[in-house]
Chains A and B, each alone.
Chain A
């Protein structure tokens, strides 16, 4: 496997990256790690997190991270300014010999800029969209236009679910053939079900329902607030464990107080991602009442930890698991109660085997497979003929009566800025990176040092 060494260097550009935690951040890290394992060199670029996350860092399997000094405005997003990223990007691309830029997340301005500048250095582009957006409010209309402009000349797009793909194709007006579906994955070893079967009769009869979610409107907490007391009344042996924090926490607390369910609904507050598995295995049913979800990694993690899942039939959720591992409900109070009752019956009748569920999820999703499929996308992109400048300009002008000229001007100014940079910081003055971190060499050297020191100890 190690002999298969590609010369391709990929680069992930995104506003959202370590040390922040989240779905997109985790996706980028896991994908990079697996691409490195497959012999690629991967560099990640994100904005800095002063005071301590600045400059260049190495993350464990030889992932080099550039933290650029851009101020963030809100939720880890930088201000879109279209041009200021170019001097950094040009230097990094020339130093590292980058061949593909892989940008992530549709609201990341660094990602948009990366896609805009890449062609100047002759670098190919891939974009991964992680989220779903509507079409019917002013914010969506604006961000969809921005996305359309950013993806006008991209070489390939990856979406995490079929629903996400349909959404992205419509939002950015892309040809469906250029959009690939590669799902997220998870590290199954981090979500192993509880091995021992509880012998205590009392414990055995109790069915614990776990909820781990951001407690926000989009996550359908209103449905949970409405259904939890009804489930508690219907099934005296049911308990809830709710983890997470957010604006709807207060509604849950009020509900618990109103129906006097303090002993049956346990509120854990915010849960660290590393503790999620330990919370999950306390229960046997996981419920997700999201109103929109492009992939639903939380559902997958719960299913992997051996829980039976109840979920609302929204977004990409129906695609991620076979029907016998999950009960679907419409986003409607009565139907959620029906699906939960069904799930409780299945679990009390011991029709759901956690170990088997874990093995099945393990066989469905792994990062190695995701990296392999992403690599195929890179290969097809590298074989394609890139757009020349005039095609780019023509395509940009086709964006629309107003947006077209605006983005065409940005494109031209970007080119002029690049010419200026070529004169100001000539290519020949930039040092090339010749050495890259190699984990195997490091381990070898480390072992050698250990052995040497051991021998010296003996000599003394």
Chain B
């Protein structure tokens, strides 16, 4: 092909020019604008380990919830105690949140906001209490096996869709659909598990606990995650430790599984990702849609 082409005329990348080259002529500059992995910054192992702490924390919460359920179901835990633990957890969490709000410059929480929080928490409390007799018999006609399978799949869905990014109050924040779905899956799972419990108080205690762990705690977790790394790691270790210590008395096999799970998510999975990066091959060229750079405030929606 190259030998046949007329040498006196230089090939130009122009469509408007009448050229004596055949239409399928392959110029030397063919694909010269192709670049591979142009703005690729490889992940570092320890950075990934810190990021994966969020996932570990979430899994620890799920397992803690499950052990609480098992204890309630077998009568090893007094439901009234669980209610008090939930209330105490809520108050501690809320106080931490307020402290974080005060420490950051964005002091947006006013008295009216606090009053609203108190009002809605009382409302949730009362609503759950009045609903618990209904929830107890909700799945009476369904066999327990189906409930285990259902709740397991709902928890898996919850863990897959959960939002593991840090939460910054100053950044404009929009709740993503997946994180809402994730929360709903976990709450539904809590409800179907609660419907297996023997008494109304148990049902109430477990649903309240599920709201605490799956609706409110993730907010605090994400808030802490965007804070200093040390706090993040300490919270992770505390959560994992408490989760294992709760699980071990119920079933030692489950405790080993949970430990293995934590090690895999925190230490093995980041290693696998770092290793897999060698296969990354991102192709960029002039055909890619350009990213517009717009500076005027307000015009970028």
Contact = CB atoms under 8 A, between A and B. Distances in A.
A134 B289 contact: yes
A456 to B, nearest CB: 54
B33 interface: yes
A458 B278 CA distance: 90
A453 to B, nearest CB: 49
B291 A179 contact: no
A220 B286 contact: no
Interface string A317-361: 011111000000011111000000000000000000000000000
B294 interface: yes
A163 B31 CA distance: 9
Contacts of B23: 158, 180-182, 373, 376-377
Given A177-B26, A182-B23, A314 B296 contact: no
B30 A176 contact: yes
B24 interface: yes
A332 B293 contact: yes
Contact of A167 (B17, B287, B290, B298): B287
Contacts of B282: 135-136
Given A223-B294, A255-B299, A333-B294, A133 B287 contact: yes
Nearest to A318: B13
A180 B24 contact: yes
Contacts of A225: 294, 299
Interface in B272-301: 282-283, 285-296, 298-301
Given A176-B26, A177-B24, A314 B16 contact: no
B14 interface: yes
Contacts of A158: 23
Interface string A271-300: 000000000000000000101101000000
Contact of B24 (A136, A170, A178, A230): A178
Interface magnitude class on chain A: 35 or more
Contacts of A292: 287-290
Given A314-B286, A315-B286, A166 B30 contact: yes
B75 to A, nearest CB: 49
A415 interface: no
A132 B287 contact: yes
Interface in A144-193: 158, 161-164, 166-167, 169-170, 176-183
Interface centre among B13, B26, B286, B291 (most CB of A within 10 A): B286
Nearest to A369: B18
Contacts of B34: 166, 170
B15 A222 contact: no
Contacts of A315: 286-287
B31 A166 contact: yes
Contacts of B291: 291, 331
B140 interface: no
B118 interface: no
Nearest to B13: A162
A364 interface: yes
Interface in B1-46: 1, 13-17, 23-24, 26, 30-31, 33-34
A164 B287 contact: yes
A422 interface: no
Given A180-B24, A373-B23, A334 B15 contact: no
Interface string A223-252: 101100110000000000000000000010
Interface magnitude class on chain B: 20 to 34
Contacts of A57: none
A320 B290 contact: no
A95 interface: no
Contacts of A166: 30-31, 33-34, 285-287
Contacts of A170: 31, 34, 283, 285
Contacts of B26: 176-177
A270 B287 CA distance: 27
Given A222-B299, A225-B299, A163 B290 contact: no
A315 B287 CA distance: 5
A247 B296 CA distance: 20
A129 B26 CA distance: 18
Given A176-B26, A225-B299, A365-B16, A163 B287 contact: yes
Nearest to B297: A226
A432 interface: no
B15 A320 contact: yes
Interface in B66-109: none
A162 B25 CA distance: 11
Nearest to B29: A162
A333 B30 contact: no
Given A161-B15, A183-B15, A222 B285 contact: no
Contacts of A5: none
Contacts of B300: 222, 226
Contacts of B31: 166, 169-170
A258 to B, nearest CB: 8
B47 to A, nearest CB: 23
Given A177-B1, A373-B23, A226 B285 contact: no
A332 B294 CA distance: 6
A291 B292 contact: yes
B296 to A, nearest CB: 5
Contacts of A167: 285, 287
A32 interface: no
Given A166-B31, A170-B31, A321-B16, A331 B293 contact: yes
Contacts of A226: 294-296, 299-300
Contact of B283 (A135, A258, A319, A322): A135
Contacts of A136: 282-283
Nearest to A317: B286
A319 B15 contact: yes
Nearest to A294: B287
Contacts of A163: 285-287
B284 to A, nearest CB: 8
B15 A220 contact: no
A291 B15 contact: no
A427 interface: no
A423 B221 CA distance: 69
A204 interface: no
Interface string B224-247: 000000000000000000000000
A161 to B, nearest CB: 6
12 contacts: A166-B286, A177-B26, A251-B301, A255-B299, A291-B289, A291-B290, A291-B291, A322-B16, A331-B290, A332-B292, A333-B293, A334-B295
Interface of B: 1, 13-17, 23-24, 26, 30-31, 33-34, 282-283, 285-296, 298-301
Given A164-B287, A166-B285, 12 more contacts: A133-B287, A134-B289, A135-B282, A179-B24, A225-B299, A291-B292, A292-B289, A314-B290, A320-B15, A322-B14, A364-B17, A373-B23
